[in-house]
Structures are given as structure tokens and as C-alpha cells.
């Protein structure tokens, strides 16, 4: 059944339809209601719903992505404020870029940056951009092609100069984090 859902999604059916296939009309209503209760209104997502194991009725929800408005604001805003769960009382101003609809940050101070250490350790955070607060989590980016695209976006967005150049130095590249809504 799981393989059929994946195949259906790959063939172009919406993930929501493919995930709900086989649950019956009443089951679909229950699952859809549960999924809607889990989704934050600020984010758009497509639920991938199915049993978490062969037994029981637990369901999982797919990772959400930033909505179109959030991506637009993150692309156009030069500086955002970030609060980490470990240090919620103090915000740090950082730079953010969007590459291929994915959101990335880097630490100007390298691995010494406090906010970076908090996020790299698996902590959560809150970004403030254009008057909105976005709850985020960070995933270290290791793909060389993605890191190169992120460097290009930092140089494009922040222009030539010593600060933008510092963000693409070899020793800073390892601090590239992809942000996802939580």
C-alpha cells in the first residue's frame, strides 16, 4: 500500500490524494480533520498521512514548507532577527537567503556564533521577518552543490563588499543551515 501511494504521487497525483487512497470515505474525513488540526495557518503543506506502523492508528504529517509570502519576505529582507529556544530573551540580527525555494543562513562568526551553536545542536528558533514571526528548525547542509548555490545567493543579495565576501569564505561554509518551518 505504501509503495502504491509513493508510485501514485510520483505519477503526478497530489500527495494528499495518494496518501488518503485506500482509507475509505469515513477514514479520509477523520485523517483530514486530524491533519488540519496539526497545521499552523501560517504555513502551507500537503499532508502525507498513513499508519506510523503496521499496528494502531497513529498518523504522520509531512514536513511543511514556507508559504509564498514568507519566501517573498525572506528573499527581499536584508536582515532578520533570530531567537533561539536556548536564548529566547535575546535576538541576534542575521542574514538569510533563499535558494530554489529553500531558506538558508550562515554564521558570520563561524562555529563560534552563539545562535549557530544553539541551532546546530538541534534547537528550535524563531525568525522575525517583515513583522511576522516564523518558528523554524535547522538542518545542516552538506551538499556541495547546495552550498555553492547558497554562496551565490549571499553574493547576489548582499552585493560585493567585505561582509558578503566573509560569508562565502571556506571556513564559514560549514555553518550553512537550511531552515524549515516547525
Higher pLDDT among residues 177 and 123, named by residue? 177
pLDDT band, very low/low/confident/very high, at 37 (cuts 50, 70, 90): very low
- Which residues, 6 or more positions from 132, have their beta carbon under 8 angstroms from its beta carbon? 42, 70, 73
At 22, the pLDDT band (50, 70, 90 cuts) reads very low
Q: Structure pTM?
A: 0.66
pLDDT in tens, 38-94: 333 333 333 333 333 343 433 333 346 899 999 999 999 999 999 999 999 999 999
**Cα gap 15→146, rounded to integer Å:** 25
What local confidence, expressed as pLDDT, does residue 67 receive?
94
Q: What three-state secondary structure class fits 44?
A: strand
Rounded to an integer, the average pLDDT of 135-150 is: 97
What percent of the chain has a predicted confidence (pLDDT) above 70?
65
Q: CB atoms < 10 A from the CB of 138, how many?
A: 26
Residue 171 has pLDDT above 90, yes or no: yes
Distance CA(69)–CA(48), nearest Å, equals 23
pLDDT value at position 64? 64
Residue with cell 504555513: 43
Q: Is it the case that residue 140 has pLDDT exceeding 70?
A: yes
Chain centroid to CA 42: 13
Structural domains of the chain in order of their starting residue, each with its CATH number: 1-63 (no CATH), 68-181 (2.30.110.10)
Picking from 142, 168, 143, the residue whose alpha carbon sits closest to that of residue 155 is 168
16 has a pLDDT exceeding 90: no
In this structure, what C-alpha cell is assigned to residue 124?
528550535
Give the chain's mean pLDDT: 76
Distance CA 127, CA 92 (A): 10
- What's the confidence (pLDDT) of residue 93? 97
Amino acid at each position: 500500500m505504501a509503495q502504491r501511494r509513493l508510485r501514485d504521487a510520483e505519477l503526478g497525483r497530489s500527495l494528499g490524494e495518494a496518501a488518503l487512497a485506500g482509507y475509505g470515505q469515513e477514514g479520509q474525513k477523520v485523517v483530514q480533520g486530524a491533519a488540519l488540526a496539526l497545521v499552523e495557518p501560517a504555513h502551507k503543506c500537503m499532508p502525507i498521512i498513513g499508519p506510523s506502523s503496521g499496528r494502531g492508528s497513529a498518523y504522520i504529517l509531512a514536513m511543511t514548507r514556507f508559504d509564498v509570502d514568507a519566501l517573498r519576505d525572506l528573499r527581499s529582507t536584508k536582515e532578520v532577527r533570530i531567537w533561539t529556544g536556548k536564548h529566547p530573551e535575546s535576538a541576534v540580527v542575521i542574514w538569510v537567503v533563499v535558494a530554489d525555494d529553500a531558506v538558508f543562513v550562515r554564521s558570520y562568526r563561524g562555529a563560534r556564533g552563539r545562535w549557530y551553536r544553539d541551532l546546530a545542536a538541534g534547537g528550535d528558533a524563531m525568525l522575525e521577518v517583515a513583522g511576522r514571526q516564523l518558528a523554524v528548525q535547522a538542518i545542516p547542509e552538506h551538499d556541495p552543490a547546495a552550498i555553492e548555490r547558497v554562496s551565490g545567493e549571499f553574493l547576489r543579495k548582499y552585493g560585493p563588499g567585505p561582509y558578503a565576501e566573509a560569508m562565502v569564505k571556506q571556513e564559514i561554509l560549514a555553518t550553512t543551515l537550511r531552515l524549515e518551518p516547525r
